Chains A and B, each alone.
Chain A
Amino acid sequence: MDLEKKAKELKKIKGNIRGEGILADLEYARLKKGEKGVRAVEKKLNELVYKIKFDQIKSMSWYPARIDIIKNYILMDLFNWTKKDIFNMANFSPKASFLVKVLVKYFVSAKKSFEQGPKYWRQQFDFGELQAYEYNDKKKRMIFRIKEYKTDPIMCTVFSGYFLRLAQFVLKSKKVSIKETKCVYKGDPFCEQTIYWE
C-alpha cells in the first residue's frame, strides 16, 4: 500500500467527523495492538502530513474525515490487517462510543432507532446524508442509503461493521447480518446497506 499516494488522494475530502469516531477505533487498536501499536499509528499519521496528537482528540470536536480514513489504511499497512479486521474494528466502535451511550434514548424499538438513523448521522458527520429508506418487519430487513458521501471505498467496510453493531444493539435477535446492496464505487448513485435478521 502506497500510503503517501493514498494520503494525497484523500486530501481533496472536505468533510469532518466527530473525534469520538476516531477515538473509538483507536480503543480497538489499543485492545489488539497495545499502546505501542496506537503510538505507531500516530507516528505514521504525522509522517503523512496529518499533524495530530491522539491524546488531544476530543470526543465531540470535529476533525477532517480524511484522518479517520487514512488511519484505516495505516492500520492495514502496519499490522497486516485485512478488510475483515477493519470491519471488526468498526463493529466494535459503537461499544466504545460516547454518542451511542447518549443516544440510547432512541433505542425504544428497532423501528424507532431506524427512523432516528439520519439524526444520528448528522451527529457524527458534517457532510453526506443517511436515508432511513425501508424498514420491513415482515421481510425482516431494514435498508439505509448513504448519499452525498463519496470519500473512499474502505468506508463501505467501515459502515457495514458500524451499522451491524447498531442493529445488534436494537434488534431482538442474535442472528443479524448486513450486506452492501448498492455501492457508489461500483457505479451506483449511492451506497446502500441492508440489514437482515431472523
Chain B
Amino acid sequence: MVDEKRKRIEEDLDDLESYIKEFSDFLPLAVLTVSPLGMIISANKAIQELTGYLCFESVGLYLSDLFLEKEKIKEIEKKIEKEGSFLNQELTLIGKDEKRVPVNVFVSSRNNRQGEYVGFFTALINISEIKTLQQNLEEKVKARTRELEQRIDELERFHDLTVGRELKMLELKKEIKRLKNADQTRSQKNS
C-alpha cells in the first residue's frame, strides 16, 4: 500500500517535471531563476537565442554578469529583496559574443513556505525591434519636422514678399491718387 502510494507520488512528480520542462522550453521569452546571491540557478531554452549561452552555461553565472548596467542589477536585487515588488526596467544584455541587446527586465521575488526570501524570477524580453522601430520613427518625425520648418520658412518669405508687394501697390495707388488730385487742382486753377 505504502509502496503503491510512493510509486504514484513519484509518477506524479515525473509528470510534473516533464510539464514544467516542456512549458518552460515552449516559452518564447527567456526566464531565469536567480538565487538570493544573484546567481542563475536555472534558465529556459529562450536564453540561448537571446544571449548565445546554452541554458547550462548560463546556470552558475551571476545575473549581473549578463548585463552592461551591473550596478543597476545590484540595486534591483536589493530592492526586490526589501520590497518584494515587481519591476520592469529597460537594460542592456551582453551576449556571449559581446553583442548588446536591449531588453525589458521583469523581476518577481520568491519566498519559501516560511516567508523567507529565496531569490527571484526574471523574464527578459528582447526589445531590439521595438527600439529600431522607435528609432526609425523618431528619425522620420525629425525629417518631417525639418521639412515642415522649411515649408513654414518658405511660406513666411512668400507672405512677406506678397504682403510687401500689396502694401507697395497701395502706396503707389495712393500716390497716383494724390498726383491725380494735385493735377486736377492745378488744372482748375489754370482754367
Contact = CB atoms under 8 A, between A and B. Distances in A.
A107 B37 CA distance: 9
B116 A108 contact: yes
Interface stretch (A77-85, A97-105, A140-148): A97-105
A61 B10 contact: yes
A92 B56 contact: yes
Contact of A169 (B13, B17, B41, B113): B41
B17 A98 contact: yes
B56 A96 contact: yes
Interface in A155-174: 165, 168-172
Given A59-B17, A169-B60, A104 B10 contact: no
Given A101-B41, A107-B36, A95 B56 contact: yes
Contact of B60 (A58, A61, A98, A165): A165
Interface residues of A, number: 25
Given A92-B56, A108-B118, A165-B60, A61 B36 contact: no
A104 B56 contact: no
A107 B33 CA distance: 12
B35 A169 contact: yes
A154 interface: no
Contacts of B14: 58-61
B17 A108 contact: no
Given A59-B17, A101-B41, A172-B37, 7 more contacts: A59-B13, A96-B56, A100-B41, A106-B118, A107-B118, A108-B117, A169-B39
Contacts of A62: 10
Contacts of B39: 169
A156 B14 CA distance: 28
Interface in B109-142: 110, 112-113, 116-119
A61 B113 CA distance: 25
A52 interface: no
A170 B37 contact: yes
Give the dominant DSSP class at A's interface. Answer: helix
B17 A60 contact: yes
Nearest to B37: A172
Interface in B76-122: 110, 112-113, 116-119
A92 B14 CA distance: 22
A101 B36 CA distance: 13
A91 to B, nearest CB: 9
B29 interface: no
Interface of A: 27, 31, 58-62, 92, 95-96, 98, 100-101, 104-109, 165, 168-172
Nearest to B62: A174
B13 A104 contact: no
26 contacts: A27-B56, A31-B54, A58-B10, A58-B11, A58-B14, A60-B10, A60-B14, A61-B10, A61-B14, A95-B56, A96-B56, A96-B59, A101-B33, A101-B41, A104-B33, A104-B41, A104-B42, A105-B112, A107-B37, A107-B119, A108-B36, A108-B112, A109-B36, A165-B60, A169-B39, A169-B60
A170 B56 contact: no
Contacts of B33: 101, 104
A172 B60 CA distance: 12
Contacts of B116: 108
A95 B112 contact: no
Contacts of A168: 60
A104 B118 contact: yes
A59 B110 CA distance: 24
Contacts of B42: 101, 104
A98 B112 CA distance: 17
Contacts of B41: 100-101, 104, 107, 169
